[in-house]
């Protein structure tokens, strides 16, 4: 891919993530972090992958999808079948889950991504509900009662998947293919007039986003001891959508930060089920009133690390920075 040179800030962020991951692993090994905090870290990692994958579809390509929980469900159940039914290793389950979710994204993307706006949102929502109903009525995976899954998730797997997701989607965004997706987001008619195959690039972004949602599904399934179709309803899709909107449409850094903050808030409010959703909703309302563009707007956190001029070959504009 062209144009995949990065600023020092990008590589500094990756190195910092690796260092933090190593430090956290030492804390887990030393039993300084108990199971509650460890599980919270796992959830943060899973939500980051979901937020970043949906960020590519909505924030970069501008396609309003609210069926992301469907790909999460496909990845979760596929990985569970691979490990629990077929007895294959967890790494294989992660890869296969991503591939099957990507295939599902391709199948649903080709007919629906010719639609726009509300019509696309309804179509993707329908896909998510179809997936839920299929697993609800599939006795092979336990149906409504759910499927028992062995806990196989470890911190190295979570942080590795998070870093790979961020690096791959950042590289795609900074390539000529990513710039084509951004052009579609800004003005699809103009992009089509300039010779960009809009349907092709929308499907590509959709498939990549679905792949990493499937990876998140594999981690999700093996972090809990049981998965049920009710875990993947349309409210789950809205939860993922909120992460992207709250972080700022077009900002990957914002999606990551929102995933971290909302996961922590949701986890600690779980002790107060009566007021949990009220407080959670108030936080979102206040945020939308005083910061409607989201936490980061359209900026990336790497902008704070930049020193001097943008790296050679970088392209900057008001809404998105490609370096």
> Which residues span the domain enclosing 124?
35-233
Contact 211, 161 (CB under 8 A): no
Residue 288 within a domain: no
Contact 97, 75 (CB under 8 A): yes
Residue 190 within a domain: yes
Residue 81 within a domain: yes
Residue 201 within a domain: yes
pLDDT digit string, tens, across residues 252-263: 888 999 999 989
CATH of the domain at 125: 1.10.3470.10
What total number of domains does the chain contain?
1
Residue 255 within a domain: no
Residue 2 within a domain: no
Digit-by-digit pLDDT tens for the chain (323 residues) are: 444 455 666 678 788 888 988 999 999 888 888 888 899 999 999 999 999 999 999 989 888 888 899 999 999 999 999 999 998 999 999 999 999 999 999 998 888 877 777 788 888 888 899 999 999 998 898 888 889 999 999 999 999 999 999 999 999 998 899 899 999 888 888 988 888 888 899 999 999 999 999 999 999 999 988 899 988 988 888 889 888 988 888 888 889 999 999 898 888 877 776 777 787 778 778 877 888 777 877 777 766 655 444 444 444 444 444 33
Residue 294 contacts by C-beta under 8 Å, 6 or more apart in sequence? 245, 246, 247, 248, 249, 251, 254, 258
Residue 103 within a domain: yes
State the pLDDT at residue 294: 79
Residue 58 within a domain: yes
Q: Per DSSP, what are the bridge partners of residue 322?
A: 315
Q: For residue 121, how far is the Cα from the chain centroid?
A: 17
Full-model pTM? 0.88
């Amino acid at each position: 891919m062209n144009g995949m040179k990065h600023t020092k800030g990008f590589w500094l962020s990756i190195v910092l993530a690796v260092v933090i991951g190593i430090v956290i692993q030492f804390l887990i090994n030393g039993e300084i972090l108990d199971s509650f905090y460890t599980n919270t870290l796992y959830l943060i990692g899973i939500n980051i992958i979901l937020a970043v994958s949906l960020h590519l579809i909505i924030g970069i390509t501008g396609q309003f999808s609210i069926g992301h929980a469907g790909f999460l469900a496909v990845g979760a159940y596929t990985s569970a079948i691979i490990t629990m039914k077929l007895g294959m290793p967890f790494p294989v389950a992660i890869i296969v889950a991503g591939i099957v979710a990507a295939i599902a994204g391709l199948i649903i993307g080709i007919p629906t991504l010719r639609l726009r706006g509300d019509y696309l949102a309804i179509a993707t929502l329908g896909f998510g509900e179809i997936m839920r109903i299929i697993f609800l009525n599939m006795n092979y995976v336990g149906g409504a009662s759910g499927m028992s899954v062995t806990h196989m998730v470890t911190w190295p797997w979570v942080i590795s998947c998070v870093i790979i997701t961020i690096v791959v989607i950042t590289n795609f965004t900074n390539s000529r293919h990513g710039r084509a997706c951004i052009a579609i987001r800004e003005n699809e008619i103009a992009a089509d007039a300039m010779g960009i195959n809009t349907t092709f690039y929308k499907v590509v972004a959709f498939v990549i986003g679905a792949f990493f949602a499937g990876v998140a599904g594999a981690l999700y399934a093996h972090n809990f001891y049981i998965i049920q179709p009710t875990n993947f309803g349309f409210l789950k899709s809205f939860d993922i959508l909120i992460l992207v909107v709250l972080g700022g449409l077009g900002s990957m850094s914002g999606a990551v930060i929102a995933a971290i903050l909302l996961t922590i808030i949701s986890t600690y409010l779980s002790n107060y089920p009566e007021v949990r959703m009220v407080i959670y909703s108030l936080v979102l309302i206040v945020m939308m009133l005083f910061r409607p563009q989201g936490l980061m707007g359209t900026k990336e956190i790497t902008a704070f690390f930049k020193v001097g001029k943008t790296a050679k070959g970088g392209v900057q504009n008001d809404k998105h920075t490609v370096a």
